[in-house]
Amino acid sequence: MRRLHVAAGLAGLLAMALLLGGCAAEGVGVAAGYDEDYWGGPTVDYDMDFDEPFGFGYGYGYGGFDYGYGGWGPGYFVGPPAWGYGAPVEVGGGLQRPYRPAPPSRPLPSIPVGPRGPGTRGLPR
Amino acid sequence: MTIRTSWVLAVLGLAAGVAAAATAAFEVPPLMQPPVATQHPGKLIWAELMTPDIAAAKRFYGGLFGWTFQDIHAGTAEYSVARLAGAPIAGLVQRPTRAGRQPQPRWLTFLSVPSVHAAAKLILAHGGRQLVAPRAYRQRGQQGVYADPQGAVFAVLNSRSGDPPDVLAAPGEWIWSALLARDPAGDAAFYQDVFGFEVFELPRSGRGAHLVLASEQYARASVNPLPQEDDVRPHWIDFVRVTNVADTAAAVSALGGRVVVGPHPDRHGSRVALLADPAGALIGVLEWSAPGGAGEAK
């Protein structure tokens, strides 16, 4: 009978040891720029239950596909600039802008087009 | 060890196990493994799908882009990590429909920031709204969800493991983002103030300014006028690189989705298309051809 009691106690110790070990093993490396000061402890849920502030407005209903999205006609571009576009764009002087435009001497940059180095994630190109 | 001690330890162990199970932290994986030292402020580093039908979404995106999925259950959250070649590429979040509330299936764009709290202050100071307060996840890092002054929703993320590198996206990876705004110039100013973007001007269309947001010498996103005035609200669209937009569009219907804007050439010379998944969330696909055949669209 005493063996049973001891076994139960050891099982409890083992369970606690495993839990503590599991907590320690959860850690991952941290990027140099990461700001740990705001770490507030583990989060037990994933709250993404927000509403669109002004409605959604795609003009459709779930499952209904009643799209009123509008056509993207000729000249309506949303994609990145072409690779090696290079030249700055002349939009016209005297325009009042709420933003600070890049200097006219600055060429329009490309998206990242460099090769994937060893050790980087994902598929090789 | 006395009998009493043995049973106290057994009970403590059992209680600890029950407590741990009940309060299991919601663990989403780190963006980078092993971690990297670099972060790229303003870059699209993550995206999450809010959907009422996570199973249909998995079939759609798995079939379209070759993503695989790892389910995570904790608390009331139902979440799936989409992976490409083993690397986390996106998250799928089950968001049930509720009576009296319009379902809002959508992709959420996560932009890199060096500090979520600093970004939050700037967002609020420049007319944005907070939709989900900053929260920390042990492995992923800190994040918050916001709306810009015109109502387009986006998230900011300070990745604990660093950001994906600035290399040419492989097929199946995120390659570009476009913000469709009622007032592109006004929204560009907001994102410049918050993220420090450079703003480049492209030739205007009849609807207004077309702008490119850049950081660290790379184009990160375009800001465009809304395609029409009456019905569509400002929003972000994220683009996945594909090898052939027409082939991708042709596969959409059989996977339960719909082509919203058909394949057509864009300013970079290759084709783009706008798709809706089975629940109606919008996603863009884009070909990319680089000189010398690197990443040539097939």
Q: What is the ipTM of this complex?
A: 0.84
Q: How far is B22 from chain A (nearest CA, A)?
A: 9
**Are A70 and B214 a contacting pair at CB < 8 A?**
no
Residue A26 gets which letter from DSSP? T
Instruction: For chain B, give the mean pLDDT.
Output: 87
Contact B219, A108 (CB under 8 A): yes
**Are A10 and B267 a contacting pair at CB < 8 A?**
no
Mean of pLDDT values over A51-78: 59
Mutant choice from B160, B175, B187, B222 vs A, greatest count of A C-beta within 10 A: B160
**pLDDT tens digits for range B104-115:** 789 999 999 999
pLDDT at B142 over 70: yes
Instruction: For chain A, give the mean pLDDT.
Output: 64
pTM score of the predicted model: 0.83
The single residue listed with the structure tokens 């435009």 is A101
Pairing of strands B271-276, B218-225: unpaired
Neighbouring CB atoms inside 10 A of B111's CB total 27
Q: Which chain B residue has its CA at the smallest distance from A104's CA?
A: B200
B100 shares contact with chain A (CB less than 8 Å): no
The structure tokens listed for B179 are: 């913000």
pLDDT band at B25 (very low <50, low <70, confident <90, very high): low
pLDDT attached to residue B27: 81
Contact B27, B44 (CB under 8 A): no
Out of A27-31, B280-284, B286-290, the most confident range is B280-284
Out of A26-40, B71-85, B158-172, the most confident range is B158-172
The structure tokens listed for A48 are: 């993404």
Contact A42, B174 (CB under 8 A): no
CB < 8 Å to A2, chain B: 3
**Are A46 and B74 a contacting pair at CB < 8 A?**
yes
pLDDT band at A30 (very low <50, low <70, confident <90, very high): low
Neighbouring CB atoms inside 10 A of B109's CB total 25
Inter-chain contacts counted by CB atoms under 8 A, chains A and B: 377
Rounded CA separation B42/B36 (Å): 17
CB < 8 Å to A87, chain B: none
User: CA gyration radius for chain B?
Assistant: 21
Q: Which chain A residue has its CA at the smallest distance from B173's CA?
A: A122
B186 shares contact with chain A (CB less than 8 Å): yes
Out of A13-27, B12-26, B120-134, B265-279, the most confident range is B120-134
**pLDDT tens digits for range A50-61:** 777 665 544 443
